[in-house]
Amino acid sequence: MGEVRLTNIRKVYKGGAEAVKGISCEIKDKEFMVLVGPSGCGKSTVLRMIAGLEEITDGELFIGDKKVNEIAASDRGIAMVFQNYALYPHMNAYENMAFGLKIKKVPKEEIKKRVLAAAKTLNIESLLEKKPGKMSGGQRQRIAIGRAIVRRPEVFLFDEPLSNLDAKLRSKMRVELAKLHEELNVTMVYVTHDQVEAMTLGQRIIVMKDGNIMQIDTPIELFNNPHNEFVAGFIGTPQMNFMDGILEIKNENLEFKSEAGTTFDLSKLKLKHLKDYVHKSISLGIRSEDIRWEQGQLNNFMKLNAKIVAIEILGNEKLIYFDYHHLEIVAKFRSEVEMVLKSNIDIYLDLDSAYFFDKETGIRIY
């Protein structure tokens, strides 16, 4: 069984730096789980503790039904693919893929059978006689993955394996990895700082910040139902727009007064807990696709007059960057919508699609 379970796992380095702060989670058997977060959030440290390359300070780690805290990396039934491929430059692809099995004294015929099967799966049969120096980055990455496959592990670990590849090849390799997971039907744990990678690959995603887990959920749930302001801002491209302000009641109507001094009526919103935050600082979040250039059918909206400061054309859509009282707001419009740089226009924020967060705690107000 390839289930991985972490219970109150901590990692404290000499000098007292706490990289991982008592996290708990369960990675299901045969699941593709992605750990994502900004640099320094502890995601690679978690992966290395699962691999046995980092000592666990506190807590319990189980692979299947076996506690592995004190078990050597080579005996954990895992295989790891590194960011820098970690191939032996003096060995050809076949020898690199076979090396781990030779160390374990697997019979030659069995080694050959496994290497050729992995090569066929990855479509790298023509590379087996080549050395890493004669290969492209994508080819070297396939060899590294093949070396992991031949070990037939219960759990595959990937530490930012695509970060050294160009954008086009990264996109292609994401598809290949998803297909590989389907074909091998094993547990995969994948670390990345790229939320696009996380969203396209993960069946579930662990979002981390400062050594803590901020949310574990499916990609669509993370996007639609972030539990806190960090997840809301981290998941989604471009990131969610935020506007800080205070809730007030005027003539029995709930209003949001932004730091820019603009007041908006929230009385039609069906968020009963908002009234608990009257006179408190909150943050209003709105995604770029929920900002319109015309009112249309919107019944519940915030109208802003903002200046266009930049335009990014992305094929069938464009990103428009606005300045609103020194607050940057980005909207996503269709490419055919005409916009003039440095002009001021009215934009409409769809309040029915807005998110609200407690500014002090960052927790979402439902």
**pLDDT tens digits for range 348-358:** 999 999 999 99
User: In the prediction, which pLDDT does 89 show?
Assistant: 93
DSSP letter for each residue of 72-86? -GGGSSEEEE-TT--
**Is 247 in the same domain as 229?**
no
pLDDT the model gives residue 110: 95
Could you say which residues of the chain have pLDDT below 70? none
Domain interval for residue 24: 4-234
167 in the same domain as 266: no
Q: At a CB cut-off of 8 Å and minimum separation 6, what does 65 contact?
A: 1
Do 83 and 16 fall into the same domain?
yes
Of the residues 181, 204, 234, the one at which a domain ends: 234
Residue 365 lies in a domain: no
Pairing status of strand 241-250 against strand 212-217: unpaired
Task: Provide the greatest CA pair distance for the chain.
Answer: 83
Residue 127 falls within a domain, yes or no? yes
Q: Which residues pair with 315 in a beta bridge?
A: none
| CATH number of domain containing 171 | 3.40.50.300
Q: Domain for residue 364, yes or no?
A: no
- 137-149 vs 108-122: helix axis angle to the nearest 10? 130
Q: What is the pLDDT of residue 10?
A: 97
Considering its fold, how many domains does the chain have in total? 2
Residue 129 within a domain: yes
- Structure confidence at residue 62 (pLDDT): 97
What confidence score (pLDDT) does residue 260 get?
79
pLDDT tens figures, 304-339: 999 999 999 999 999 999 999 999 999 999 999 999
Q: Are residue 18 and residue 43 in the same domain, yes or no?
A: yes
What is the DSSP-derived secondary structure letter of residue 252? T
Contacts of 246 (CB under 8 A, 6+ apart): 256, 257, 279, 280, 281, 282
> pTM here?
0.92
In a shared domain, residues 268 and 193: no
> Are 146 and 195 within one domain?
yes
Classify residue 99: in a domain, yes or no.
yes
Q: Report percent pLDDT > 70 for the chain.
A: 100
Distance (Å, whole) CA 251 – CA 258: 18
